[in-house]
Structure 1
Amino acid sequence: MHQPLHRRLALIDMGTNTFHLLIVEMPEARHAQPIKLLRTKVGVRLGEGGISQGRIAEAPYERALHALAGFKEEMELHQVTDVRATATSAMRVSQNGPQLVQDIFEQTGIRVEVIAGDREAELIAKGVRQAVALGPESHLIMDIGGGSVEFIVADENQIFWKRSFEIGAQRLLDKFFPDPSGVFPPEALAAEQAYLREVLQPLAEAVQQFRPVGLVGASGSFDSLADMQLGRLRTEAELPPSSELTPEGFRRSYQQMLSLTHEQRVALPGILPMRADMLVVASVLIDYVLQLTGITNIRTSAYALKEGLLAEMLATPE
Structure 2
Amino acid sequence: MAKKPPTEKSGSGSSINGMKTVAIIDLGTNTFNLLIVELPPTDPPDIIFKTKMPVKLGLGGINEGTISDAAFQRGLSALGTYKEKIAEYDVEEIYPLATAAIRSANNGVDFVNEVLKSLQMKIDVISGDREAELIYEGVKQALDLGDEYSLIMDIGGGSTEFIIGNQHEILWKKSFNLGVARILDKFQLSDPLSEVNVEDLREFLMMEIQEMFGKAEEYKIDSLVGSSGSFESLAEMIQHINKERKSYVGRTEFQFDLEQLKSMHRELLKSSVSERKNLKGLVDFRLDTIVLASIFIDLVIEKLNISNLRLSTYSLREGVMSELAKQ
Alignment-derived partner of residue 50 in structure 1: 61
> In 2, distance between residues paired with 1:271 and 1:39?
19
Question: Is the partner of 2:87 in helix, strand or coil?
Answer: helix
Alignment-derived partner of residue 203 in structure 1: 212
> In 1, distance between residues paired with 2:263 and 2:316?
29
Change (3 A) 1:189 1:25: same
Question: Is the partner of 2:158 in helix, strand or coil?
Answer: coil
Which one-letter code corresponds to 2:22 in the other structure? Answer: L
Alignment-derived partner of residue 66 in structure 1: 77
Contact 2:14–2:20 under 8 Å retained in 1:
no
Question: Does 2:71 align with 1:91?
Answer: no
Alignment-derived partner of residue 13 in structure 1: 26
Which one-letter code corresponds to 1:185 in the other structure? Answer: S
> In 2, distance between residues paired with 1:247 and 1:46?
32
Alignment-derived partner of residue 311 in structure 2: 300
Question: Does 2:292 align with 1:278?
Answer: no
- C-alpha deviation, 1:177, in angstroms: 4.4
Alignment-derived partner of residue 222 in structure 1: 231
Contact 1:18–1:42 under 8 Å retained in 2:
yes
Deviations 1:128-181, CA, capped at 9 Å, x for gaps: 0001101000000000000000000000100011010001001111223444xx
Taking only the aligned residue pairs, the percentage that are identical comes to: 37
Question: Does 2:36 align with 1:27?
Answer: no
Which one-letter code corresponds to 2:218 in the other structure? Answer: Q
The size of the alignment, in residue pairs, is 311
Q: Is the deviation greater in 78-87 or in 2-11?
A: 2-11
Alignment-derived partner of residue 168 in structure 1: 179
Question: Does 2:106 align with 1:114?
Answer: no
Alignment-derived partner of residue 133 in structure 1: 144
Query: Can you give the 5+ residue segments of structure 2 that lack an aligned partner in the other structure?
Result: 1-11
Alignment-derived partner of residue 260 in structure 2: 249
Question: Is the partner of 1:143 in helix, strand or coil?
Answer: strand
Alignment-derived partner of residue 315 in structure 1: 326
- C-alpha deviation, 1:57, in angstroms: 1.1
> In 2, distance between residues paired with 1:176 and 1:299?
29
Which one-letter code corresponds to 2:305 in the other structure? Answer: G
Change (3 A) 1:2 1:60: closer
Question: Does 2:197 align with 1:157?
Answer: no
> In 1, distance between residues paired with 2:189 and 2:120?
38
Which one-letter code corresponds to 1:70 in the other structure? Answer: T
- C-alpha deviation, 1:250, in angstroms: 1.3
Higher relative contact order, structure no. (Cα contacts within 8 Å, ≥ 6 residues apart): 2
Change (3 A) 1:145 1:234: farther
Contact 1:137–1:213 under 8 Å retained in 2:
no
- TM-score computed with the length of structure 1 as normaliser: 0.94
Alignment-derived partner of residue 48 in structure 2: 37
Structure 1 residue runs of 4 or more that deviate by more than 4 Å after TM superposition? 1-4, 232-235
Deviations 1:8-41, CA, capped at 9 Å, x for gaps: 100111110111111112103x3x1122211111
Question: Is the partner of 1:187 in helix, strand or coil?
Answer: helix
Deviations 1:195-240, CA, capped at 9 Å, x for gaps: 11111110111011111231100021000100110127979x9341
Question: Is the partner of 1:134 in helix, strand or coil?
Answer: coil
Q: Is the deviation greater in 116-125 or in 1-10?
A: 1-10
Aligned CA RMSD, in angstroms, stands at: 1.8
- C-alpha deviation, 1:263, in angstroms: 0.3
> In 2, distance between residues paired with 1:267 and 1:46?
25
> In 2, distance between residues paired with 1:58 and 1:272?
25
Query: Can you give the 5+ residue segments of structure 1 that lack an aligned partner in the other structure?
Result: none
Question: Is the partner of 1:231 in helix, strand or coil?
Answer: helix
Question: Is the partner of 1:147 in helix, strand or coil?
Answer: coil
> In 2, distance between residues paired with 1:53 and 1:106?
26
Contact 2:37–2:321 under 8 Å retained in 1:
no
Question: Is the partner of 2:37 in helix, strand or coil?
Answer: strand
> In 2, distance between residues paired with 1:250 and 1:7?
41
